[in-house]
Amino acid sequence: MIRRRLCASLVALFLAAAPAQAGAEEPLHFSTPITYGTHLPGLGKPVKDWAAEVGALSGGTLSFDIEQPGQNVMPQDILDAVSKGTAAAGFSKAEFWANRLPAAALFSGFPFGPDAKTYAAWFYAGNGLTLYQHMYDDGGFNVHVLPCAFGGAETAGWFAKELKSPEDIERLRIRIFGQGGLVMQKLGASPALVPGSKLNQAFQDGDIDAAELYPPPVDARTDLAGAVKRIYLPGWQQPETVMELLINKDRWNALDDQQQLWIETACRDTMFQTMSENPVLAAKALSDFADQGVTIETLPAPVLDRLHQTWDEIAAQQGKHDPFFSQVLDDIRKFRAEIATPGAVAPMAGASSLEPPMTSATE
């Protein structure tokens, strides 16, 4: 069985790596708006690398023409643009469509959800890909979806106030969105709608007490370390960020098997590459923050327990309103239980791969 699988993998790799003959055909161009600029590690740079690999595998016959955020399509309009065919493809993350597709957040990262390795296994060795495509099909969107990169684990956020107990969350003014925001709000926090570019000033003016932003390598491009001196781990609200490739389904179906394989192979390669490099980049960013006097702390167990309990309550309620949400979440939970190593001590669900750097700032 292992030998047959190995042979099949080698054949697929050979076919994917076989470039088209130079000059055999005119390049096919795909306009591809994106959500995050390609200068951002994890969230934006991977699409640039992926497009370059597709070009190389195809011998230049497939060209995904990257459009920076807002260049022609606003990030919030990418799904509709790709579905209608005004854009041939798009690179984003599914949680942006959660207001119309409640289960979307489960495919891009959610409270106490899978890490990168488990997401990859669920997509390719479980029901993940099938359920992912079903969500868009059932929602009436004319798109083909592929998970195509990992954006990295977030931290729990930047905090001007210390969290010692669940009660400290009450009346906490925090910038946080999505499912994590619902959890914090239910525990008594006050979500603050502050643009990322205004966070530094908001902290300095005392308008907010905490803020969730991005994975550490992207946070490092802000000046928050000059205004806030505490980061909490783990990023319980988003232990991993899955970036998706959307392709107009008519354009996808018009491709032959070889062309589709080039695109799929490049996505898998990019997922593996980002899975490998994101923890390294995050560790470096956290170490740099510590050197700037930022304290990297772990959330107390009672706080994490209360957050987890509250998320379970919210998820159960959402599942009652949307059966597909419940189906996807149940499938993820079942898959995680099945692949758990017998006899091993399981990490707390949602525990981030990020660990506090061993510096005096954490003592």
The pLDDT tens digits for 208-227 are 999 999 999 999 998 899 99
Q: Which of 8-17, 144-153, 288-297 has the lowest mean pLDDT?
A: 8-17
Q: Are 93 and 215 contacting, i.e. CB atoms less than 8 angstroms apart?
A: no
Structure tokens belonging to residue 345: 């001590």
**Domain 23-152+239-280 adopts which CATH fold?**
D-Maltodextrin-Binding Protein; domain 2 (3.40.190)
The pLDDT tens digits of the residues spanning 115-138 come to 999 999 999 999 999 999 999 999
End-to-end CA distance of the chain: 51
Q: Which of 53-67, 182-196, 228-242 has the lowest mean pLDDT?
A: 182-196
Q: In the predicted model, what is the mean pLDDT of the chain?
A: 89
Q: How far is CA 60 from CA 14, 253, 260, 305, in A?
A: 17, 20, 14, 51
pLDDT given at position 197:
83
The pLDDT tens digits of the residues spanning 307-359 come to 999 999 999 999 999 999 999 999 999 999 999 866 544 443 334 445 544 33
| 23-152+239-280 against 157-238+292-332+352-362: fold identical | yes
pLDDT given at position 195:
86
Q: How far apart are alpha carbons 71 and 90 in whole angstroms?
A: 13
Phi and psi at 59, nearest 5°, equal 65, 30
Determine how many CB atoms are found less than 10 A away from the CB of residue 288. Answer: 15
pLDDT given at position 340:
87
Q: Where are the domains of the chain?
A: 23-152+239-280, 157-238+292-332+352-362
Pairing label, strands 89-92, 242-248: antiparallel
Class of domain 157-238+292-332+352-362: alpha beta
Q: Which residues contact 35 (CB under 8 A, 6 or more apart)?
A: 43, 44, 69, 75, 78, 91, 92, 93, 96
Q: How far is CA 201 from CA 84, 196, 223, in A?
A: 40, 10, 10
Give the global pTM.
Answer: 0.88
